[in-house]
């Protein structure tokens, strides 16, 4: 007889989990694109972006407990990582765009798509080509992005490894 940790998931549960994962990535980025980050409100945009980035820590802590209690920890881990990635990307894209649009810190970043692109390039460590951080504030922000990305990737690898070893030990 299967226990709760090995019970198969129904199609509706899988669909709900997939939809939640997708929305966790898309909604924060969609919010970024609709935020007004013009000259009058750009500081609010920076603040909102930083709040999203700072929210990664308590959200991570909350999701670790959820993953540990979940009958399907791998699915819970994937959903948590999607949300964390969505928050981090949208948060940093918001700060990068607001900073670039209203200061000379990132001179070639001109649109919100540029802000998203710059954030993704920074987080993946692909390397810069056309858009580079020119000012000290932008370089400090980019350094923080890189550190957070390494932490997220390391945490994801550790979480998945722990789940796999725990499941293997239970078998």
Domain ranges of the chain: 11-170
DSSP letter at 125 equals T
Q: Give me 130's structure tokens.
A: 């056309």
pLDDT at 171: 56
Percent of the chain's residues with pLDDT above 90:
11
Query: For 11-170, CATH number?
Result: 1.10.287.70
Percent of the chain's residues with pLDDT above 70:
89
Give residue-wise pLDDT tens across range 89-138. Answer: 999 999 999 989 888 888 888 999 999 988 988 888 777 777 778 888 88
Average pLDDT over every residue of 18-33: 88
What is the C-alpha separation between 51 and 92, in angstroms, rounded? 10
Look at residue 3 and tell me whether its pLDDT is greater than 50: no
Q: Are 96 and 123 in contact (CB under 8 A)?
A: no
Virtual torsion, Cα 46, 150, 26, 162, nearest 10 deg: -140
Q: Name the band, by pLDDT with cuts 50, 70 and 90, for residue 168.
A: low
pLDDT at 4: 44
Q: Are 66 and 76 in contact (CB under 8 A)?
A: yes
Instruction: Give the pTM.
Output: 0.73
Q: Give me 12's structure tokens.
A: 């509706």
């Amino acid at each position: 007889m299967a226990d709760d940790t090995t019970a198969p998931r129904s199609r509706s549960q899988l669909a709900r989990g997939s939809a939640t994962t997708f929305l966790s990535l898309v909604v924060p980025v969609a919010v970024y694109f609709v935020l007004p980050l013009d000259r009058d409100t750009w500081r609010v945009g920076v603040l909102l972006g930083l709040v999203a980035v700072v929210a990664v820590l308590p959200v991570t802590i909350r999701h670790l407990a959820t993953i540990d209690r979940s009958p399907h920890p791998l699915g819970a881990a994937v959903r948590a990582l999607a949300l964390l990635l969505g928050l981090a990307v949208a948060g940093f894209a918001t700060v990068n765009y607001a900073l670039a649009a209203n200061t000379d810190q990132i001179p070639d970043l001109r649109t919100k798509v540029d802000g998203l692109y710059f954030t993704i390039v920074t987080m993946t460590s692909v390397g810069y080509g056309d858009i580079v951080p020119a000012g000290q504030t932008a370089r400090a922000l980019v350094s923080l992005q890189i550190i957070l990305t390494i932490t997220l990737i390391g945490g994801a690898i550790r979480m998945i490894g722990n789940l796999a070893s725990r499941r293997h030990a239970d078998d």
